[in-house]
Structure 1
Amino acid sequence: MRLSDKYRPRTFEDLVGQDDVASTLGALVKRDEPAPILLSGPWGTGKTSAALVYAQARNCEALTPSGSPCRSCVPCLAFESDERTWFFAEVDAARHGQREHGAYLNELARTSSMYNVRQRMVVVNEIHCATPSWEETLLGLFEAPGVAAFVLTTTEPHRVSGPLRSRCTHVRTRLLTNGELVTFGRNVCDAERIAFEPEALALVAAASGGHVRDFVMELERLSADGSALTLTAAAAGLSLDWPDTALRVVTALARGKYDAAKVLVRDWTASPPEKARALRDAYVFVAHVCFGPTRACPEATVAFRLATQAVVDEAGAALAACPGGCGVPPFSFALALAEQWGRAAPHLHDEGDLDVELTRVAHGVTPTDLLLPPMTITPVSAPPLSQRRTTVRAAVAHAPRVAPRAAYLTKADVRGEYRAATLLPQMYGAWFNTRLVVRWADYGVTEWKDVDEREGVTTRFSALTHELGMRVRDRVGDPAFRLHWLVQHEVTARGYESWLLLSLPVDEREAARAWVAAHLPWAAGVLVNTLGVDVWRAPNVTGRAHVVHWSLVRELWRAVDPALRDVDEAGRRTPLRTVLGVPVQGPRAAGVLPDGARRWSTSQTLGSRVWAAAAHDERFGFVSPVGLRVWRAVDTGWEADEWGYRRDEAARRAAVIAGITAQFPPGQSALTDLTREKKIRAFNDSLPFDPMKRPRSRPLW
């Protein structure tokens, strides 16, 4: 018998690491409440096992004190044999969730049990795959008396319709910690007489990612030959031969050697998410072993015990000497970079995404021209556009040049360059130096659709930013001071989270943190130092990229091979938003934010006008460290002519609009005004990508 079947939970006490689930289901069994149950959680965490234990306990004649089945009465013995088909059914909605199976489900639930038990039980797995008609059938069965009791399981509860979810008792399973998996693994190895090293179990636990089924199956595979489970054998069986490579990447990034880090990552044979998670663990390992108070290796990073000691010491020395810490202790600095890689891992789908993330870390770790005091960024007045253009042109002219590309760029190259040039760290990194992370589950907000609870949390955010803004302004003594902030809402494995990132004067950060800790008992955390690399890349919804990066977009679009420019049947090119991969606000289906999606909002004072007025825009926008690399790669001598083209094009457009206005002068009649407005809009709609804010009938993209 396979270990995964042999050690499958048979009672609520057997559920590993799911004490809340066991107590909730046991209490429902003892109260004899036939309400439908919805079990949700990651795969391999015991949802189906808990559903089977609950179904067996519902008909048990001698329940244990915890509500578990006794496994010795007649119904329990029948449930553990083939006879349970008379009063129990297990359905997979992924395979039987279509319309034609609705009648079968209805008949199954309404048929009386043909066995001496109290109630027929039906377990429906992957309920999120059911069609709307199937869900309507379930709704009718929930309301009908004398039908079967239902247990639904899903890994994606947000895809279950609201009416169906609201009629169920929602019970959530969770991922197990490495310590819980190691304890469970010890028990399994002792029972199966498998010799093991504790570090090997910790390595398998870390590789399983908290999924107990994956842990048991890996444990069975690695011990199949009957030999002892050692750390070296486990690392070889799990293909964990990359600790030295990951640490060398950390060292290269800390020293600003982006090209060397890129070569190491390119030659590393693993998927982009796996590489990102390995780099996350590398930073955690170095933080604890080189800078931690106990110098101990965490269980989650036990794979790095196989790393060469000289490579570990080199990575620690490089991080300790890294200039990007901005005064942050090396321990906190390394953990901040680890957190960034952990947050990025689920969103890296190819090597291009990983390359962008490497660029982001490289310029966040060594921001040579971003180490500016936050309060000196926005000047009182900005120089004229022509003067700023001259500054940009001079910066490009004096930059080290390389030979222009002889061939066109691929779409992937263009998309990667654009994403690298519009990253938030280079636009916002020197501003945001303080953060507060709020996990909404701490306030009972588990679904994005909980409007009242959600508004309560967001109201607290507004009160916090308002109160901090007034207090910091009084301490600074500048009536014109405005507190800039960015709020990012996202869905992670831990549930719904909100990040509040603030731009606080360096001298006022300690006072602000002390005030938050003393006066905000509702906060799930306290204000802590942060780095620009902590900020994700927000969508360009306020037009910043449209204005600041218009010339960059135009040149990159020219650099694409015309044969690769997708054109539809009407001869229209693929929208730039699609080609360049411009991020957008996360979608909300019925008010629910899907897993992995994000939504952003910013302070009113942090908009396109602030960036347009910034005298350092050649540093934070048009010619950034990444932008200079782009210009050196694609420069074709066009930049000096671009200003003249834009001037002539603006004059031509103004002349056309003036002609339309002369033909249909304002003030004559409502019909004349309407005709003039329609003609101007039609003219603007006929123009290509335009950074100037003109009224349009169609969206800019």
Structure 2
Amino acid sequence: MPAWRFLCMIGPCRSGPRFGRRRGSSIPSSTSIEGSPHHPRRLHGAGGWGPRGGPSCTMTTVYMVVIVCTVCIVYMVCMTESTTERLSPEPVEDENRANFADAYRPHTFKKVFGQDSVVACLSGLIARGRIGRSILLHGAVGSGKTTLARIYARALNCEAPDPRASPCYACEACGRLGEKPIKEFEEYNVSRRGGGREDVERFLSTHDRPVHGAKYRILFFDEAHALTREACDLLLLPVESPQHAIRFIFATTEAERLRRALRSRLLDLLIRPLPVDRAIEFLRQAAEKIGIAHEPGALALLAGLREGYPRDLLLGLERVWERNTPRLTVAQVRAAFDVDQTEVLVAYFTALADGDPDQQAEIVFGWQEQATDKIRWIQAFLLHVYHNEILARRLVVDGVIEAVPENLRAGIVRGFCARLGLADARDLAPFWRQMMAFWPVPETATDETALGLRLTLFHQLVNAGVEGEAVAAERARPTDAAAAIAQASTIAEASRGFGPPPLPRPGARVVADKAGFLTPADVRRIVNSASFLVQEHGLLFNTAFAITPAALGVSGTASAVAAITAFRDELAAQARAWGGGLRAGITVLERDHRGVIGRIVAHLHAPNPLDPADADGARRTEAWVKAWREGAGRLGGDAVEFAPAPVGERAALRFHWRRSLDLCAGLDERVEAFDPRIAEHRSLLELLRVRARSARPVLDHPLVATSASLSDEQVAQACRNRLEPLSAYDDEAWEELTTGWELEEFQVRRDTRAKREGRLAEIRQQFGEATPEARAEIAQTVGGWPSDPRRRPRRWRRERAGEPWP
């Protein structure tokens, strides 16, 4: 019964004997006690006593109403709960859905995925005695900066960290898992609370007191890039000389906006995105925990579309997951993110394989993507197919391409093989490399007109593949306008550059190549690349670096190699920002007791017009390297060693060869080569005058890498029209390796190239472009040029074992 109806049934109260004075009352109706609560003057007319001597029904009604209301409220609550249990609808899916990013936020170092170097650094500080450091965590949004800060802060005050240096979540300092707030951990969001000096000073003064019941107090500045210059200056002294066991953690997405003086006082930890294969594995593990079945390729596609950071990946998974479907499909991911790249790429490359220019143009010009994105997807598809389908080498280049069914990618490769008359997919590798080389990075023009021109030339290259890959590639390679005109009229014969190595002489000690170690072929490539840089470009290597990722806290081969590659790429990007560039370089991987080491020699152009004393940019490069490695120096090692070339031609030449040959020091010293001076075999390292370094294997990664300007393709391009380079290494002219003869050969090559291109231009002008007469005359002319580079006329000569060389 509703409460209001029950109250209505009671009705208004009236005076009567039933509600009169209680029997045996000691206060009769006639009694008048001044001041008594029952005095007539106090009660009469005020709802006290009625004229008949009994209490007023108004007061009694109040008592009854209170009792009745209490009973009714209890009754209604019980009925409501019962009704809710019986009648409430099923929870709405969106309301019942878990927030994946929060639900699967890691609470220990062990559960942090893919940030091995950062975790090793922070957990190492805990393991060595809960060492409190002031730290800068920087990376993209959702990379895990706040999560790592909280784990480290909790572990600093944990009374018994677990064997992996994570908080135990059992002691008083830790509290229960997920308990908030963290003891002695104060968060300050700079963007919301203010980044000015007064705001920060107020926050600091609030917490500038002795720490009780904990080892440290941690002040966490999130969104630290919003700190003003004055606020950063205010923080310098507290960070450098903290009082009361206070430590600071700064997190930001824009570390470059922090004042350098403040940043130099912090342990600098960069949180990098997960590589594609690791991002796929992260999603696989998350899907398994949540119980999401998935179609092959669905997670790979999702990983390719997100940024490679755990929170972003989890939010993406939550976005595409539909609880009422049996499993996550590729189609669901495509629909959720409006993706059609895979379908377009398959159709486009099928048209390329078929040699159908009309279909190629229709597909690619109808593809509604930005020019830069089209280029990137084409490059990614080429690279992925090259490694996985052609070389049968498992490599996840891009998650979106990985999501393309394997049978479709294999069908495209079969189509190319059928059109080119190839029996095996591996035979397609040279032609495929030409297609990849067509798209240079990063000079590719990105406006629609330039893209249309490049696509047209690209199709010409692909469709003419049956005519011979080298000639087609030369004809289709785009250049600037002036070079294109000259090239169109001067290309007559392609080149293989240095070509295959000479046959070994009999009598040498047989030392089998071992996986993970330098080989004689690697040494030949290093020496010839260093020589070619001078012969072709007249340049010397002017910088050398040694990168030791272990000093950054990086463990594991893959992570170490990634750190070395990141340093090289960031250095090149910085040089471009200065108006220069990394024009040439050689990178060699080694391993010693510390782990993987990357050794780099490079010609770095870093102009510094604002400082005449640093015209070559050596000082600014050194400053950049120092800033890059500042955080690592506090871990007991130097992450990067930098050596610039000295001033002076002779000194620069010695630097070039000493640093280049030092890259070969990891070769097995038992490997021999022939010494014509004594007509015997000797240790190759002795002939190179290099002291051997004890090395350990680096598996699953190429040990030697050259920049694009020193690649086999670029060397061959520069040596067309019978301008093959000389090689003192191949000619066993050991005593001439480091004499600098290449500087003189540079002049000879330049003069010879000009004369030959001039002669070919005359022939084409006389007989017309691409006429039979012109081709015949060119063939006769080129046939008269010596194919052996040692027979080219030159003004200089050296010696080899007492004989003129070359």
TM-score, normalising length from structure 1?
Answer: 0.52
Contact 2:389 2:409 in 1 (8 A): no
Change (3 A) 1:146 1:248: same
Alignment counterpart, residue 290 of structure 2, candidates 184, 192, 204: 192
Asked if the contact 1:126–1:155 (Cα under 8 Å) also holds between the matched residues in 2, the reply is yes
1:646 corresponds to: none
Residue 217 of structure 1 and its aligned partner are, at CA, apart by 1.3
Matching of residues 288-687 of structure 1 within 5 Å: 288=387, 290-293=389-392, 300=399, 301-305=401-405, 312-313=412-413, 316-317=416-417, 330-331=428-429, 334=432, 343-344=441-442, 351=448, 354-355=451-452, 358=455, 468=528, 494-497=566-569, 500=584, 524-526=703-705, 529-531=711-713, 613=754, 616=757
The amino acid across from 2:262 in the alignment is L
1:14 aligned residue: 111
Contact 2:134 2:266 (8 Å CA) reproduced: yes
CA distance 1:488–1:73, change in 2 (3 Å): same
Query: CA 1:171 to 1:611, structure 2 compared with 1: closer, same or farther past 3 Å?
Result: farther
Point out where structure 2 has 5 or more consecutive residues left out of the alignment. Answer: 1-97, 500-522, 544-562, 570-581, 587-660, 668-684, 696-701, 718-742, 770-806
Map of 1:217 onto structure 2: 315
| C-alpha distance in structure 1 between counterparts of 2:380 and 2:144, whole Å | 27
CA distance in 1, matches of 2:430, 2:194: 50
Selected match of 1:73 from 143, 151, 171: 171
Distance verdict in 2 for CA 1:197–1:418, change over 3 Å:
closer
Deviation at 1:369, TM superposition (A): 12
Shift of 1:290: 4.6
Partner SS for 2:209 = coil
* Structure 1 counterpart of 2:248, from 140, 147, 150: 150
The CA deviation string for residues 560-599 of structure 1, in whole angstroms up to 9 with x for no partner, is xxxxxxxxxxxxxxxxxxxxxxxxxxxxxxxxxxxxxxxx
Give the C-alpha shift of residue 25 in structure 1.
0.4
Aligned residue in 1 for 2:147 = 49
Equivalent-residue separation in structure 2 for 1:154 and 1:432 (angstroms): 50
Query: Secondary structure in 1 aligned to 2:322?
Result: coil
Aligned-partner Cα distance in 1 for 2:749–2:193: 50
Q: Could you say what secondary structure the match of 2:268 adopts?
A: strand
Residue 469 of structure 1 contacts residue 482 of structure 1 at CA under 8 Å; is this kept in 2? no
Which range is displaced more, 40-49 or 137-146? 40-49
Identity between Structure 1 and Structure 2 (%): 24
Matched residue type, 2:122:
L
Return 5+ residue gaps in structure 1 as ranges.
Answer: 323-327, 378-416, 436-462, 474-479, 503-511, 536-601, 629-701
> Could you tell me how far apart the structure 1 residues matched to 2:394 and 2:281 are?
23
What residue in structure 2 maps to residue 64 of structure 1?
A: 162
Q: Secondary structure at the match of 1:281?
A: helix
Q: Matched residues in 2 for 1:195 and 1:243: separation?
A: 22
Q: Distance in 2 between matches of 1:91 and 1:344?
A: 38
**Following TM superposition, by how much is the alpha carbon of 1:358 offset from its aligned partner in structure 2, in angstroms?**
4.1
The answer (yes or no) to whether the contact 1:292–1:331 under 8 Å persists in 2 is: yes
Note closer, same or farther for the CA distance 1:12–1:360 as it changes in structure 2 (3 Å cut).
farther
Q: Say if 2:276 and 2:396, in contact at 8 Å, map to a contact too.
A: no
Contact persistence 1:56–1:79 (CA under 8 A): no
Shift of residue 230 of structure 1? 2.2
Deviations 1:545-574 (A, max 9, x none): xxxxxxxxxxxxxxxxxxxxxxxxxxxxxx
TM-fit CA distance, 1:532? 5.2
Partner of 2:383: 284
Return closer, same or farther for 1:313/1:331 CA change in 2, 3 Å cut-off. closer
| Cα contact 2:222–2:252 (8 A) shared by 1 | yes
**Distance across 2 between alignment mates of 1:123 and 1:357:** 51
Cα separation, 1, equivalents of 2:227 and 2:747: 44
Question: 1:169–1:321: structure 2 CA closer, same or farther, 3 Å change rule?
Answer: farther
2 CA distance for matches of 1:311 and 1:141? 64
Q: Greater shift after overlay, 298-307 or 334-343?
A: 334-343
Over 3 Å counting, the alpha-carbon distance change for 1:607 and 1:251 in structure 2 is farther
Match of 1:39, SS state, is strand
- Cα distance in 2, alignment partners of residues 464 and 102 from structure 1: 60
Shift of 1:15: 0.4
Does the alignment pair 1:237 with 2:336?
yes
* Secondary structure of 1:496's aligned partner: helix
Task: Tell me if structure 1 keeps the 8 A contact 2:240–2:265.
Answer: no
CA distance in 1, matches of 2:747, 2:461: 21
> Which residue number in structure 1 is paired with residue 789 of structure 2?
none
| Distance change >3 Å, CA 193–CA 257, structure 1 → 2 | closer
Are the equivalent residues in 2 in contact too, given 1:280–1:337 (CA < 8 A)?
no
CA displacement 1:187-224 (0-9 Å, x = unmatched): 32232222223432222223325322222111111113
Q: What one-letter code is carried by the residue in structure 2 that aligns with 1:264? A: I
Q: Is the 8 A contact 2:353 2:413 kept in 1?
A: no
How far does residue 186 in structure 1 lie from its aligned partner after superposition? Answer: 3.0
Q: Does the 8 A contact of 2:380 with 2:397 survive in 1?
A: no
- Aligned match of 2:642: none
Q: Between Structure 1 and Structure 2, which shows a larger proportion of helix residues?
A: 1
Would you say 1:269 and 2:372 are equivalent positions? no
Deviation at 1:226, TM superposition (A): 3.4
Q: Classify the secondary structure of the residue corresponding to 1:28.
A: helix
Aligned to 2:130: 32
Distance 2:484 2:139 in 1: 33
- Give distance in 2, aligned partners of 1:501 and 1:240: 38
Paired residue for 2:120? 23
Shift in alpha-carbon separation, 1:67–1:282, aligned structure 2, 3 A: same
CA distance in 2, matches of 1:230, 1:284: 25
For residues 14-50 of structure 1, the C-alpha deviation after alignment (integer angstroms, 9 at most, x for no partner) is: 1011222222101212333222112234443322221
- Provide closer, same or farther for how the CA distance between residues 236 and 422 of structure 1 changes in structure 2, counting only shifts above 3 A: farther
Q: CA deviation at 1:12?
A: 0.5
Structure 2 SS opposite 1:68: coil
